[in-house]
Amino acid sequence: MNERTVRGFTAGVAGRLGRAAAFSLLAGTVGGAAVLAGEAFVARHRRYAQPELGLALRATIGRAEAPPLRLVLLGDSSALGVGVDRLEDTIGGQLAHLLAEGPTGRRVHLSSVGVSGSRSTDLATQVARSLLGERPDVALILIGANDATGLRRPSDAAAYLGAAVHRLREARVEVVVGTCPDLGAVRAIAPPLRQVVGWSGRRMARAQTTAVLEAGGSVVDLASETGPVFRADAGTLCHDGFHPSADGYRVWAHALLPGVAAAATVATRR
């Protein structure tokens, strides 16, 4: 086999290997996209927990003689406590009890204007509703999961969140935001889509943090503080594998408590 033949043979093999690699890459890409599309279809058509219509969205918790605190929740299904059917198991109910029973016990007037399925674009309406009547002392915003699962641009979603925080701060309301939780912990979405959604959630949380701090609010990074617990314990999710259970909301409540308590202290000093 002369030099020219060797070169021709080598070039031919290289070409065939290159085409095979390109085909494999294309097939892998198409196959991966098909898997993600299939998982997205399944996730979209699962039966998820629905808001409990009989669940009170307003309650007063704590001793009658304790200093009052008006706490309003804004955001998505988590602000309503979707996944549980008792007020005391919701994120708001658990936070209110912790604030009432703490060393600086408060009489918490709790309300929620959250709407299941909400995205950051829906916050303007919720802010308007929260400011009707007597002004709240502290607003807790839980938003971002629906933005992330819908693969919305983090910067766009964060801009709407920042505007909501700014408006509440202008109304002299202390604001705490629980950023997008760890979506890589949900069981309702199968891998590898779960990893994609988890990545989207992390990007969302980073953008939210910047926007909230610039608008004068405070932030609790739910993914970092509670994600490992949710990943390790399936019992932190309710029957649908997506929304928190009573145990899950308890984990969130303890993570949010220091920030909400600090905001309540600031509001009291005004």
Task: Catalogue the active-site residues.
Answer: 77, 240, 243
CB 264 within 8 A of CB 176: no
- Buried-state track 69-100, b at ≥16 Cβ within 10 A, e below 16: bbbbbbbbbbbbbbbbeebebbbbbbbbbbbb
Which two tokens mark 42? Answer: 């399944």
Distance CA 241, CA 77 (A): 14
Give buried/exposed letters for 4-27 (b at 16+ CB in 10 A, else e). Answer: eeeeeeeeeeeeeeeeeeeeeeee
Token pair 């928190």 is found at: 244
